[in-house]
């Protein structure tokens, strides 16, 4: 049985999907982060090996006809994975692509279009024939990533501090939940006396930990909190402008939404989708599983109808 293998090597986790050339699921594996830039080559290889072994199970590694590995920023080269592939018994060399390409293919079988990713960070890219031709933002939390989870968390804390210092009770859902999360005490009453405590709590944590507050903004907006709703609107405006920097006004190619803030049923995804639809007369789709998309990219040149295979793999 001929197999294809796809890897999504993220900074937090690695996932591997193995499929037949007909799109049937064979196995799926999960492990720790597989990005060599974030974890070092040795740790990344070990985590990727674990995910691949889980996905292959008892199947012969030599039956893998093609493999694609998606790594953030293409921070790995084929040479980085050669030793791993040989140790696993795979007879093919992986084709390494960036996470942007994988995210785009996770939402469409089309060769050209736009992808917008908003999770901890934020980036938009335009692709032509599955190659990235233009990129917007993606500068990291210190220099950009506007509209990302980090951005939402940082803006939330700033808004909450202003509310505590200048507002009048009741302070609202966002202030209450942010204070509770940062100070670690259930029922901690918000107020002006909490301002310095919140500041100290934020500075005591890693900067990227602010992204953990993004779900609080989402939940508060869904509960009708005005401050949170305004933050969601601002984030949506920023993200659409990020897309506009890489996408022509009359472009009718698909737009794929990816990342935790855009693929769920939250208010930011809805707001971004609505604004994109009104600005461009184009289909807006949501990215599915990135490892499955990588498996499809591995298989697409081996089958007569890659579009039909995309539907089967992503549906499975």
| Per-residue pLDDT at 264 | 85
Same-domain status, 280 and 138: yes
Q: What is the CATH number of the domain that holds 199?
A: 3.30.420.40
Same-domain status, 183 and 242: yes
Question: What is the side-by-side order of every strand in the sheet holding 95-98?
Answer: 25-32, 13-20, 3-9, 64-71, 95-98
Contact 172, 220 (CB under 8 A): yes
Which residue has better confidence, 77 or 261? 261
How much of the chain exceeds pLDDT 70, in percent? Answer: 95
Supply the mean pLDDT for the chain. 91
Same-domain status, 253 and 282: yes
| Per-residue pLDDT at 190 | 79
How much of the chain exceeds pLDDT 90, in percent? Answer: 75
| Per-residue pLDDT at 40 | 76
Supply the DSSP symbol for 298: H
Which helix or strand (DSSP H or E) is residue 19 part of?
Answer: strand 13-20
pTM summary value: 0.90
Same-domain status, 221 and 159: yes
Segments forming the whole domain that contains residue 144:
111-286
Same-domain status, 58 and 13: yes
| Per-residue pLDDT at 37 | 66
Same-domain status, 179 and 278: yes
Same-domain status, 32 and 85: yes
| Per-residue pLDDT at 78 | 55
| Per-residue pLDDT at 156 | 98
- At residue 36 the predicted structure's pLDDT band, cuts being 50, 70 and 90, is confident
| Per-residue pLDDT at 106 | 97
| Per-residue pLDDT at 77 | 54
| Per-residue pLDDT at 38 | 64
| Per-residue pLDDT at 93 | 80
What is the number of structural domains in the chain?
2
For residue range 43-86, what is the model confidence (pLDDT) as tens digits? Answer: 888 899 999 999 999 999 999 999 999 887 554 555 656 778 88
User: Whose structure tokens read 């692509």?
Assistant: 97
Question: What span, in angstroms and rounded, lies between the C-alpha atoms of 160 and 147?
Answer: 18
- At residue 99 the predicted structure's pLDDT band, cuts being 50, 70 and 90, is confident
| Residues in the chain, total | 316
In 3-state terms the chain splits into helix, strand, coil percentages (rounded to 5) of 50, 20, 30
| Per-residue pLDDT at 189 | 78
Supply the DSSP symbol for 58: T
| Per-residue pLDDT at 145 | 94
Same-domain status, 161 and 234: yes
Of 42-51, 99-108, 255-264, 289-298, minimum mean pLDDT range: 42-51
Same-domain status, 121 and 227: yes
Q: Is 295 exposed, middle or buried (0-12, 13-18, 19+ CB in 10 A)?
A: buried
Same-domain status, 201 and 232: yes
Number of H helices, E strands in the chain: 13, 10
Q: In 60-201, at which residue ranges do the beta strands (DSSP E only) sit?
A: 64-71, 95-98, 113-118, 122-128, 131-137
Same-domain status, 239 and 272: yes
For residue range 200-242, what is the model confidence (pLDDT) as tens digits? Answer: 999 999 998 999 999 999 999 999 999 999 999 999 999 999 9
Supply the DSSP symbol for 35: -
Question: What span, in angstroms and rounded, lies between the C-alpha atoms of 296 and 106?
Answer: 9
Residue 313, CA distances (Å) to 15, 108, 114, 310 in order: 15, 12, 21, 5
Same-domain status, 57 and 193: no
Question: What span, in angstroms and rounded, lies between the C-alpha atoms of 92 and 87?
Answer: 12
For the cut 70, the answer to whether the pLDDT of residue 186 exceeds it is no
């Amino acid at each position: 049985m001929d197999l294809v293998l796809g890897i999504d090597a993220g900074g937090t986790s690695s996932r591997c999907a193995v499929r037949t050339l007909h799109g049937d699921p064979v196995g799926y594996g999960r492990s720790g982060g597989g990005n060599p830039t974030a974890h070092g080559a040795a740790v990344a290889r070990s985590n990727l090996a674990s995910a691949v072994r889980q996905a292959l199970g008892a199947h012969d590694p030599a039956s893998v006809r093609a493999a694609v590995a998606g790594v953030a920023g293409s921070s790995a080269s084929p040479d980085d994975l050669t030793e791993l592939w040989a140790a696993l018994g795979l007879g093919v060399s992986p084709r390494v692509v960036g996470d942007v390409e994988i995210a785009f293919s996770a939402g469409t079988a089309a060769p050209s279009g736009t992808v917008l990713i908003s999770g901890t960070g934020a980036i938009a890219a335009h692709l032509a024939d599955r190659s990235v031709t233009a990129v917007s933002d993606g500068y990291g939390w210190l220099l950009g990533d506007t509209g990302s989870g980090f951005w939402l968390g940082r803006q939330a804390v700033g808004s909450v501090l202003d509310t505590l210092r200048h507002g009048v009770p009741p302070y609202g859902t966002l202030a209450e939940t942010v204070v509770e999360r940062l100070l670690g005490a259930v029922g901690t009453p918000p107020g002006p006396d909490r301002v310095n405590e919140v500041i100290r709590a934020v500075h005591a944590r890693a900067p990227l930990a602010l992204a953990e507050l993004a779900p609080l903004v989402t939940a508060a907006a869904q509960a009708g909190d005005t401050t949170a709703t305004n933050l969601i609107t601002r984030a949506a405006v920023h993200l659409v402008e990020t897309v506009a920097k890489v996408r022509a006004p009359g472009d009718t190619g698909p737009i794929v939404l990816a990342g935790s803030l855009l693929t769920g049923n939250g208010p930011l995804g809805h707001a971004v989708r609505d604004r994109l639809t009104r600005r461009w007369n184009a289909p807006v789709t949501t990215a599915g599983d990135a490892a499955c998309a990588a498996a499809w990219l591995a298989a697409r040149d081996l089958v007569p109808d890659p579009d039909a295979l995309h539907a089967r793999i992503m549906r499975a």
